[in-house]
Amino acid sequence: MTAAPTACAHGPAPQLLLAPMEGLLDFVLRDVLTRVGGYDRCVSEFIRVTDQLLPARVFVRVIPELMNGSLTAAGVPVRGQLLGSDPACMADNAARLAELGSHGVDLNFGCPAKVVNRHGGGAFLLQDPEQLQRIVEAVRRAVPAATMVSAKMRLGYEHDRHAELCAQAIEAGGAGELVVHARTKAHGYRPPAYWERVADVRAAVRVPVVANGEVWSVDDARRCLRQSGAHALMLGRGAVVDPALAGKLRHALRWPAAANGSLGPIELQWSEMLEHLEWFWLRVRERIDPRAQAGRLKQWLNFLRRQSAQAEEAYQQLRCVTNPSGISQWLALHRTLPAKIVAHEWRGS
């Protein structure tokens, strides 16, 4: 079996990436989770590309970090992600994303959403390796040589028999890194994740391969690294449920600090979690439609309560609150941040 990479292992430096989650793990939660620490890089939620060159404001709306050098407030790079099926249009929008200063361009070949697949995007493209290669080639030609082009794929659409072919097509197109979500579109998000198939993909290509899917704990991470042979992990729902997960993994696996110097904590007390919830709420109030604000905080609490009794209590207290002022009042009763910090203007604004 392949040993889990450590700080002393040869080859690419081990990394922890923060995944996007449409409608949840967006720039607001990226800001908070990268403040907690432990991440080398983030990927944005996908920007849907259809038949036109999108204006700059569309990219900035999804990735406001572009106004801060493509860095979160904690100094963690953010790579913009594009989703689409037309090579020429994807190339034009990739060029614009690069011009705006994105920390690379990521291509989404993994989204399982029906509306996306119905229009030929996301995981649907895994049925056509040649088209995958055409898209990557077009994007690679359109952006500067120094701009990293990466991609995220699933193991397949209805089955995983062409996983290696798809990965090779992406590599042949010029991608320099590949994230593999270790399930097919048909699997959705149901466990398990098939980490051993990531190892098969890794053996079929020469570019670095990042494993993604079902990493909720240190034990999961160790098994994933051992079975996949990957040098890096991308965390999604596990990071939302446990904001200290990145720090736990870095300490347990003896990985070095992230690129911004952060190791991340190995645990968070509820008083510390309240600080992060308040930061989150400040960002929500600044950036999210008022009608959706209360729902966003309750959405995160709904994840947090899977492992925290205090989060469960908070969720039950706020479950029926729909007015943002009610959320603010609850947080004021539990406030931990000094007033001068609460008034701080986010650098990404």
| CA nearest neighbour of 71 among 113, 103, 48, 39 | 103
111 is a catalytic site residue: yes
How far lies 146's CA from each of 102, 107, 176, in Å? 12, 17, 11
Pairing of strands 177-181, 149-154: parallel
d(CA 324, CA 347): 23
d(CA 316, CA 296): 15
Residue 115 burial by CB count (10 A; 0-12/13-18/19+): exposed, middle or buried? exposed
123: DSSP letter:
G
Entry field: residues in the chain: 349
d(CA 200, CA 229): 9
Catalytically annotated residue among 42, 111, 166, 224: 111
Catalytic residues: 111
